[in-house]
Amino acid sequence: MLSRASLVMLGALTIAPQPALSADDMARWCVDVSVPRDEIVAHNGKWIELTPDQWQFLRGVYAMNPQTPPGLPYGDKAVLARINDNTAGMVFFIDGDKACTPMLAPPELLTLMQEVASGSINHQGAGL
């Protein structure tokens, strides 16, 4: 089974072989979608296409995450890669046949993603 560190390494390896071009060059942050998908499937994992609402939500998370490159991620949809017995996951933003800009999804984020998918909104706190 892949551990959390292995998921992070998988994300890093999927972008590492790409040439270091300008920050605006999509090839720098993308690989053929089959690379991470086949690795996840080979480890009996799941490759889960996310809803449009989850994709939009994760774009905002990505943009505010200090561990991701500045700006919005590439692509027009997202997938979640999960390995059995691992509480975390890895989000890949999908642009055509490319998996781009991987982002670690800790358990807390996975919970929020489920809430977004189900349409349940949980406002905590006293409000204004």
pLDDT digits (tens, 9 = 90+) for 1-58: 445 545 544 554 444 443 333 445 555 679 999 999 999 999 999 999 999 999 999 9
Residue 65's φ and ψ, nearest 5 degrees, are -80, 120
State the pLDDT confidence band at 127, using cuts at 50, 70 and 90.
low
- pLDDT score for 4: 52
pLDDT digits (tens, 9 = 90+) for 58-99: 999 999 999 888 899 989 999 999 998 889 999 999 999 999
- pLDDT score for 126: 61
**Both structure tokens of 112:** 């929020």
* CA distances to 9, 13, 24, 29, 71 from 83, in Å: 14, 17, 31, 22, 28
- pLDDT score for 59: 97
Global pTM reads: 0.76
Tell me how far the alpha carbon of residue 7 is from its chain's centroid: 11
